[in-house]
């Protein structure tokens, strides 16, 4: 059901993907979708969570091996490269779903809240990474950035909005985006 929902949300958007169509595509009854997910909003949330994580495990981002590796990496520039690589892996899966949520947020208060929570979660991850970066850089980042403003920079560079603009809008490859994101983070944040 999640695979069918993911595909239809991406293809048709929030309004165009009906629960009936999702059930038909998943070859289950409509009531099975409702029984499993309660409603279409909860289904979209589950789609979002699973595409971001890449699995259905209930493990927070900062507890995942790739995120621990980012925090534990001793070299600041290598840490930023790991952040960009991790963001690329997530965004390759999740950017289209994030765009569905962002687009639906304008007309649905519950989805606006889901979008807001997702932004807060992304910021919390970037803040933890920025705190680790600041420590590795001896407390001194470029242009007086502290951990909070460094997290702001990373959020903008590694966010789905920028990724979508360059990948979908301008035709960049994911590897080109990752290289650009790494270089931009290093130039913006490291002394």
Q: Give residue-wise pLDDT tens across range 44-68.
A: 999 999 999 999 898 999 999 999 9
Domains of the chain by residue range: 1-58, 59-191
CATH superfamily of 1-58: Homeodomain-like (1.10.10.60)
pTM: 0.93
Q: Give me the count of residues in the chain.
A: 191
State both tokens at 26.
Answer: 């998943």
Q: How confident is the model at residue 36 (pLDDT cuts 50, 70, 90)?
A: very high
Q: Token match 């289950």: residue?
A: 28
Express each pLDDT in 96-133 by its tens digit.
999 999 999 999 999 999 999 999 999 999 999 999 99
- Model pLDDT, residue 56: 86
Average pLDDT, the chain: 97
Phi, psi of 140 (to 5 degrees): -130, 110
Residue 177 clears pLDDT 90, i.e. is over it: yes
Answer yes or no: are the C-beta atoms of 127 and 151 closer than 8 Å.
yes
Percent of the chain with pLDDT over 70: 100
């Amino acid at each position: 059901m999640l695979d069918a929902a993911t595909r239809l949300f991406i293809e048709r958007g929030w309004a165009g993907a009906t629960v009936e169509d999702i059930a038909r595509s998943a070859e289950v009854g409509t009531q099975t979708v409702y029984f499993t997910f309660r409603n279409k909003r909860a289904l979209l949330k589950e789609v979002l969570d699973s595409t971001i994580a890449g699995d259905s495990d209930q493990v927070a981002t900062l507890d995942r091996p790739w995120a621990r590796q980012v925090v534990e990496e001793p070299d600041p520039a290598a840490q930023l490269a790991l952040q960009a690589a991790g963001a690329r892996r997530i965004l390759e899966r999740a950017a289209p779903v994030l765009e569905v949520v962002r687009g639906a947020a304008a007309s649905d208060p519950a989805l606006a809240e889901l979008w807001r929570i997702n932004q807060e979660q992304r910021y919390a991850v970037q803040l933890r990474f920025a705190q680790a970066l600041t420590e590795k850089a001896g407390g001194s980042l470029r242009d007086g950035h502290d951990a909070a403003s460094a997290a702001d920079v990373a959020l903008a560079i590694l966010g789905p909005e920028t990724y979508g603009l360059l990948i979908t809008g301008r035709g960049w490859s994911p590897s080109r985006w990752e290289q650009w994101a790494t270089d931009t983070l290093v130039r913006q944040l490291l002394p």
